Amino acid sequence: MSTPLFHELQTQFPKAEIDGLVLSKGAQQILLGNPRVQKTFQHDFLKASKLSSLVRCWKLRGKHYDLSVNTHTQGRREYRVISRLIGAQVRLSHQYENESWLDRLLVTHSIPQDYTLHSMDNNLRLLRLIGREPRLPQHQYEVFLSKSEKDWATDWLQENPVGTQKLLGIHIGSGGTQNLALRRWPLAHYVAFLKELPRRYPTLQPVLFGGPEEATDLAELRAAGCQFLEVKSTNLRQAIALVNHCDAFLSVDTVFMHIAAAVRVPHQFVIETPTLNPSVYPRRNDWILIPNSAVAGRHLDFYRYDGRAIAGTAAELRNMMKRVTVESVLEAMGKAASAVRDSPIID
């Protein structure tokens, strides 16, 4: 969701050195190969020691940046502390609900976030703080894959032939920070869904994506008798290359939701969670929402970008996600069963 801002900055400041600082290795992989970014620095400030984090900031401080931008949705104050430690002359951020006098000391310019706008657009609005407006005629997610990564996906498809079946990509995860794992669709629901899917839609071949944090759940699905293909990629970029070949994709609001949108999977289905609001919708017009009656449009009552976890107890949040029925997801798959794809989007 930040890649269009990188593109705009490169367009407006063609001689500038533009670097990225990211928390996770997955975010670093998203930016790998991006021609708008010279260097990407990765440091897990949540798990690393305070001393190592200070050392990282001190080293970046030595680069004497002119401008730093905290992109949306970085609502935690710690992100603005990091920006201040790195010490760019101009430091941009959004104003979140948890803003105080301290935040106004940490950044030099800020603008209120807007929950009605996509994060991509919230980021582009920051340009106004330095007297600029977007110039590009359109803005979209940008991911740049290498030939070896595309070849990995081609080899995977040859090793796992599906004949005339269409690939239904599924990500059963939901992120692991704070209590975000509680917004997962229940594993028991996935068991029922995967068992009924081949009976109702034999043209769809489920392909499950995930990392080490989903390994236990995938094993439980197999133990329950579910049939599916598992993507055992060594990194996120290989997984992106394979998502690019999917005819449909099902998930909650996770990085894989945005990946599916980035590669324009023909049919994209998103199970509604309490954290899904317009600022993090898939960046496309033709995705399909599988509604959650327990959320009922009250997303901001449960979750805001103020550094807090999803509101509610673990039992309450699990019960909320149980409200999305297996039948409602199966009915949505009817639209995917007739999907046709001649070639992948990223070629």
Q: What CATH number does the domain located at 3-130 have? A: 3.40.50.2000
Domain locations in the chain? 3-130, 147-333
What is the mean pLDDT for each group of 10 consecutive residues in the chain (347 residues)? 96 96 94 96 95 96 97 94 96 94 94 96 97 95 96 96 93 81 95 97 94 89 96 94 96 95 96 96 94 94 92 94 97 78 50
DSSP state at residue 95: E
Local structure of 114: helix, strand or coil: coil
Distance separating alpha carbons of residues 64 and 162, to the nearest angstrom: 53
Which pLDDT does position 335 carry in this prediction? 80
Q: Cβ-count burial of 108 within 10 angstroms (0-12 exposed, 13-18 middle, 19+ buried)?
A: middle
Which pLDDT does position 38 carry in this prediction? 95
- Is 147-333 the same fold as 3-130? yes
Which pLDDT does position 179 carry in this prediction? 84
Distance separating alpha carbons of residues 104 and 101, to the nearest angstrom: 5
Which pLDDT does position 178 carry in this prediction? 72
The residue with tokens 């997984």 is 239
In the structure, how many helices (H) and strands (E) does the chain have? 14, 11
Which pLDDT does position 255 carry in this prediction? 93
Confidence (pTM):
0.91
**Nearest alpha carbon to residue 170 among 201, 221, 227, 209:** 209
- CATH code matching the domain that covers 147-333, chosen among 3.40.50.2000, 3.40.720.10, 3.30.360.10, 3.30.470.10: 3.40.50.2000
Q: Which two tokens stand for residue 319?
A: 């019960």
